[in-house]
Amino acid sequence: MSSDLFQNPLRRLRKKGDRRPTVPVKELRERDRRRMLRHFLELEDSDRLLRFGSVLPDEQITNYVNGINFSRDMVFGVYNRVFRLVAVGHLAFAPRDESSTVTEKERVAEFGVSVSRSARGLGVGSRLFERAAIHCRNSDVDTLYMHCLSTNKTMMHIAKKAGMEIHRDYGEADAYLKLLPADPSSVLQEALHEQFAVLDYTFKANKRIAVKWFGKLIRRK
Ligand SMILES: CC(C)(COP(=O)(O)OP(=O)(O)OC[C@H]1O[C@@H](n2cnc3c(N)ncnc32)[C@H](O)[C@@H]1OP(=O)(O)O)[C@@H](O)C(=O)NCCC(=O)NCCS
């Protein structure tokens, strides 16, 4: 795996000694829906099971992607060097269960994530999770849920590392994280990260257009 998979114009700002590539996590919008579908359809059956709790057929995955409401939920993604969407994190918001003793806030959030096999082990899943958590803080949500199979060792590791409270039940695990309230630094951190990701996205998108254009030019000669 090339360590410059996520190569970006600000890579020199990376901390010394940090061997993992910088991972720009960007908010996804309507225009990314087609690429999201491609990402999910490329997931193998075993990954679909881990991500959705069952091996969803293509048709249901298509319905899921078409049904994502970008004005209610947040979707984050990571594009690689060649402008391919290699990871998607879906942060879905829902009203708090009236009987809940976990939070007094109006809404709670649930996070689901998938990373393409080619981009695993580089910290992408963890970065998406961190981004989702900081977005919750800044949206007055103090409880972030995650539902996964308890055999999902990688996700359990990420959840434990983040300090999540984990409840195991019949092979499934419900984990939740209590979050601190927003403060000026969490707001600034999210805004800066998004600015950086937008810059990275624009750079990669333009590079891809240029490569295509040159390719056409060369073929014409
Ligand atoms: C789970 C998933 C999102 C992780 O993505 P990723 O980008 O590879 O994750 P990261 O690189 O950020 O972190 C992986 C961590 O798990 C650790 N890990 C990997 N395999 C492990 C295993 N078998 N047991 C324990 N820890 C493991 C890594 O060492 C790393 O830890 P570190 O950051 O402390 O070094 C990805 O594997 C995936 O998409 N799986 C299929 C879908 C899924 O399971 N979704 C989660 C349910 S919502």
Residue 184 sits in a domain of what CATH number? 3.40.630.30
Closest ligand 1 atom to the C-alpha of 43? 41
Mode of pairing for the β-strands spanning 74-79 and 165-169: unpaired
Residue type (1 letter), 135: H
* 6 lies in some domain: no
Average pLDDT, the chain: 89
Q: Is 121 in the pocket of ligand 1 (CB under 6 A)?
A: yes
The secondary structure of residue 207, as a DSSP letter, is H
Total structural domains in the chain? 1
The secondary structure of residue 163, as a DSSP letter, is T
d(CA 152, CA 32): 28
Burial category of 150 from C-beta neighbours within 10 Å (exposed 0-12, middle 13-18, buried 19 and up): middle
At residue 97, φ and ψ (nearest 5 deg) are -65, 130
CB hemisphere CA count around 172 (13 angstroms):
10
In 3D space, the residue among 53, 120, 52, 131 whose CA is nearest the CA of residue 89 turns out to be 131
Cβ(115)–Cβ(77) below 8 Å = no
In 3D space, the residue among 92, 97, 85 whose CA is nearest the CA of residue 124 turns out to be 85
* 17 lies in some domain: no
Q: Is 90 in the pocket of ligand 1 (CB under 6 A)?
A: no
Asked if the model's pLDDT at residue 18 lies above 90, the reply is no
Q: Is 77 in the pocket of ligand 1 (CB under 6 A)?
A: no
Distance 181 CA to ligand 1 centre (A): 27
Closest ligand 1 atom to the C-alpha of 128? 12
Distance 219 CA to ligand 1 centre (A): 42
* 16 lies in some domain: no
Closest ligand 1 atom to the C-alpha of 114? 39
Q: Is 21 in the pocket of ligand 1 (CB under 6 A)?
A: no
What pLDDT was estimated at residue 189?
Answer: 94
**Residue 218: band (very low, low, confident or very high) from pLDDT cuts 50, 70, 90:** confident
**Residue 3: band (very low, low, confident or very high) from pLDDT cuts 50, 70, 90:** very low
* 181 lies in some domain: yes
Burial letters 158-183, b for 16+ CB under 10 A, else e: bbeeeebeeeeeeeebbbbbebeebe
What pLDDT was estimated at residue 19?
Answer: 63
**Residue 11: band (very low, low, confident or very high) from pLDDT cuts 50, 70, 90:** very low
Reported as a single tens digit per residue, the pLDDT across 140-165 is 999 999 999 989 999 999 989 988 88
What pLDDT was estimated at residue 10?
Answer: 41
Distance 52 CA to ligand 1 centre (A): 16
Distance 119 CA to ligand 1 centre (A): 11
Closest ligand 1 atom to the C-alpha of 152? 44
Average the pLDDT over 202-211 and give the result: 92
What pLDDT was estimated at residue 14?
Answer: 47
User: What residues are paired with 109 via a beta bridge?
Assistant: 93, 144
Q: Name the strands in the sheet holding 85-95, side by side, starting at the edge strand that comes first in the sequence.
A: 26-27, 74-79, 85-95, 107-115, 143-149, 172-178, 165-169
User: What residues are paired with 149 via a beta bridge?
Assistant: 172
* 101 lies in some domain: yes
Distance 158 CA to ligand 1 centre (A): 6
Closest residue by Cα to atom 30, ligand 1, is: 121
Q: Is 158 in the pocket of ligand 1 (CB under 6 A)?
A: yes
* 50 lies in some domain: yes
Distance 115 CA to ligand 1 centre (A): 9
Q: Which domain holds residue 45?
A: 24-220
* Percentage of the chain exceeding pLDDT 90: 71
In 3D space, the residue among 209, 207, 113 whose CA is nearest the CA of residue 162 turns out to be 113
**Residue 9: band (very low, low, confident or very high) from pLDDT cuts 50, 70, 90:** very low
* 11 lies in some domain: no
What pLDDT was estimated at residue 16?
Answer: 54
* 122 lies in some domain: yes
Cβ(81)–Cβ(4) below 8 Å = yes
Closest ligand 1 atom to the C-alpha of 153? 24
Residue type (1 letter), 119: A
Global confidence as pTM:
0.89
